[in-house]
Amino acid sequence: MVEIKDLHKSFDDLVVLNGVSFSVEMGQNMVVFGRSGTGKSVLLKCLIRLMIPDSGEIFIKDKNVLNLNRKELNDLRKDIGFLFQGSALYDSMSVRENLEFPLIRNFSLEQDEIDDRVHRVLEAVDLSDAIDKMPSELSGGMRKRVGLARSIITEPKLMLYDEPTTGLDPITSKEISTLIVDLQHAFKMTSIVVTHDVLCAKIIADCAIVLDGGHIVHEGTIEELLTAEDPFLKNFFSDEVINNNGRD
């Protein structure tokens, strides 16, 4: 489904990605860990060509993303959902308009079908009552849910999540993570999740990679990473593990 080969990205003298390679199989959920500023979000943005990498190759559904023309890229993007860190809801539009926007712009659907999809995704994220609210009237957790609903309304095959639980309390964080898994199963999606929330990763991930210094320094299942004897991983996960055990 997704294959990345030898990806490099720098900003002036700062090397962010330095030869990152990995692949994600269809239906798999991969979590990308790493300290702040290690290029996790940059990696996601390169994947969907919001940023152009300096070198390397990115294949999604066997298409080389970096070689696609504008139209081909837009067609591919219709099959990809992206949940931004701050949800990125359109401020000037109501929840309904936010959800309708990608459908009206990209698909020739009847209004009945659009209404049906809007109600279906809002029900899925348990926010049917917020349909006519403006984003400024929503709490952080509600914004995440609406952002999630907008991402899945086009029924994408691949979902990219950029810090889906950042800034949320542990309970809402757990709810969002569970919701992601539920939607994953309902819509049969593949996903890549950038996070440093271990609880979220434990709920979502089939496999995980850890980025540091522009490289993938570890990969495996969450359990393997959490129980590894490597000093970096022990240090990285120590606080998170303590916190999560406390929550459990």
Partner 1 sequence: MKFQKDKLFAVTQHRLSSFFETLAGLSIFSIRFSKEVFLPPYEGVEIRKHMIELGMKTLPIVGVTGFIIGLVMTMQLQPVLQRFGAEAFLPGAIAITIVRELGPVITALIFAGRVSSGIGAELGSMRVTEQIDAMEVSGVNPFRFLVVTRVVATTFILPILTVYVIFISLVGSYIAVVLVQNMTWEYFTGRVIFAVEFADAVPGILKTFIFGYIVGIVGAYLGFNAKNGTEGVGKASTTSVVASSLLILIFDMVLVKLTLWLWPTVK
Q: Which residues bind partner 1 (CB under 8 A)?
A: 45, 48, 50, 74-75, 77-78, 80, 82, 84-86, 88-91, 101-102, 105-106, 150, 154
**Shortest Cβ distance from residue 88 to partner 1 (Å)?**
4
Q: What is the DSSP letter of 166?
A: T
Distance CA 158, CA 129 (A): 28
Q: Rank residues 48 and 241 by Cβ distance to partner 1 and give the closer one.
A: 48
* Alpha-carbon Rg for the chain in angstroms: 18
Least CB distance to partner 1 at residue 171 (A): 25
Distance CA 9, CA 14 (A): 9
C-beta separation of 64 from 209 below 8 A: no
Residue number, 100 or 175, with CB nearest to partner 1? 100
In the bound state with partner 1, the residue whose beta carbon lies nearer, of 80 and 118, is: 80
Nearer to partner 1, 195 or 244 (CB): 195
Residue 51: φ, ψ to 5°: -130, 145
Strand order in the sheet with 215-220: 80-83, 158-162, 190-194, 29-34, 207-212, 215-220
In whole angstroms, the minimum distance from the beta carbon of 77 to partner 1 comes to 5
Q: Smallest distance, Å, CB 102 to partner 1?
A: 4
